[in-house]
Structure 1
């Protein structure tokens, strides 16, 4: 089966630092793939390349079997790829509803829409539904997100990505700022997204969370993919060993 998103031999250097060194990656529709590695392994650089946020020195990216070149994040979004980065990329002066629909505002019908009036009621309802489905606690739909806690901002960013992802959802440490209940809601939501046929890339330092939700797990070390494991046939010890190079890793289709 052809991966919906695939990277072959990606390389990228920043000065004398080689962040990606011939990295490979793949994810299929309706699959959750864990992407793990120690700090500096190249995980964030890889997802920036896959989502049009970074130019490459070398390598190829394929979407639905065809080679693509995303000139920017908008190109990736147009084909259905959404990303939640560690910095969340929210506009702190805007409220949760405005952040969910930023750049995708819904115009009112008729002449008012042509005059630039937005359908705030419709957007508010859809945003509230997205937060409810995720189980995200949002203190206020009208307050600026910059005044909210890290957990609330995290929930808003995740809900926004899940609302718009059509083909691929990439989550970079989505549970880092969340409590126990919110983390459980996010992990369950990730499974529901997968069950809709959407591919999910899950980056996390929490090995128990990775093992709980991932169908496959790919390990990066020093800018390369060094191992691929079936999510239900590996252990924390094996994953950590591959990440650190302490154990012989195996790479191949699960």
Structure 2
């Protein structure tokens, strides 16, 4: 039992070996002045900047504002993308009417709309939320649409044989069958969410992590700039980890998940005669 716990702990630490090693190398190079602090501050200098900004309350305030913007935009854009993906996935008429327009809009880089968005919404919260919502809309829409269209027709027929109709059929057959693809779209959307927010906050903002970075750049506070970049990376990693946990809980029946559980056990040796 103890060896199994030790093995699981070591497996969880493996993904962090390379990041920790890179941070150590970064600190050593900075301490030896191989990398000038004016160009790239050392990790210790970045940590000191984080402590300083935490003590005056600026850091936590900006993190809270950026997180709220990100997830409000994700909720709006993701909900619209999911609903349209379901509608177009189950209705060929709706697909013919809506999908071409959606695909045309998708080919336009949503960050290229920043000048128009500023004119429409100003530099308030609406502009940032709109950009995030537009960015996350397409991956969730496409993966929801693809997931529904990829369901085995035999499963739908079997559900109908068991008496599933309309809402019950969607709830117990169609949505669970499309869930793996939908969750892939969620993971893609979470990455795009932070990218969209970074650009939105650096172009027009008076608060948030991006604003903190741009304000620090004006005064050549490179430690704060690097701290802002690290914060975006940490928030992105936390979001992706949450998506993985959601995936494991929502699709425990998936063959890949079952195979992963069995592969964690001790392999059985098979002799060849």
**Larger proportion of helix:** 2
Q: TM-score over 0.5 for the alignment?
A: no
- TM-score category, normalised to shorter length: under 0.3
Higher RCO (CA-CA < 8 Å; seq separation 6+) = 1
TM-score normalised according to structure 1 size: 0.22
Name the structure with the higher strand share.
Answer: 1
- TM-score, normalising length from structure 2? 0.21
